[in-house]
Amino acid sequence: SRETDLFVLFFTVLCSELFMEQGIDLLLDVSGSVELTDEHDLFWKYNNVKMAKFSSNSKPVIYNPYKERAEVFPNNFSLVLKNVQHSDTGIYKAVLSSSTDHTKVEYNIKVQVSPVNLTVIDSNSTSFLCERTVICRTVDSTITKTFVCNKETCSQVDKEHATTNSSSLDVYIKEKHIICNHSNQVSWKQERIPISSVCWAAPGTTQTCKRSIIIVKRCVNHRKITTKIQYLYYFFV
């Protein structure tokens, strides 16, 4: 039956925290009895954005973008959110609204993280460190971060513009790999790329980085000073 396929929440406290997997239908119930009048409406909200509305004298309303994903039950004011994803992580409230708002129940839902895509987009072949720009983003596009990586470390270059979320995303160097890690209290996902294949050389090929050192020699011949400049090139594989 449909009821057995739902991940059902029955809480008697005002605020509850729940960790859950992606792809499950989420049933949110109102705790306690609710009586609607002409002066009272009940709203389901996600992060304070309206999802659905129950009124005493009209049919329930489901707001965009939840019209295709949510189902409501007027007999008990519950709401089902279908096929939850990591981007559905957040605070869900049932709010009884009139001249003032009263929260009937609140759920802090944390959904397992989405996979990540790790992209290496350019390189500075003349740099001694062979730095590369690395972009890591979650598949659901809720987080995107840019880093500059060398053989040893990665530094984030867009901290002030980084997308905030209930999960964390980081890029770092470990065991000769560039690794993008997406995690929260429920789960973690990674993508990793070998350094040898993306920064300094493709498999089976040789790529070099070059640094020049200038040595100045001064020679005194009678009253004449001559300067000779030699360029020595060091190649690093």
Q: Coil, helix or strand for 159?
A: helix
Residue 13 is which amino acid?
A: V
What average pLDDT values come out for the chain (237 residues) when binned by 10 residues? 40 61 90 83 95 93 95 94 91 90 92 90 60 88 88 83 72 92 89 75 39 35 39 35
Judge whether 28 and 78 are in contact, CB under 8 Å: yes
pLDDT of residue 123: 59
pTM as predicted? 0.62
Peptide bond into 65 cis (omega under 30): yes
Judge whether 25 and 83 are in contact, CB under 8 Å: yes
Q: Select from 84, 1, 97, 105 the least CA-distant residue to 43.
A: 97
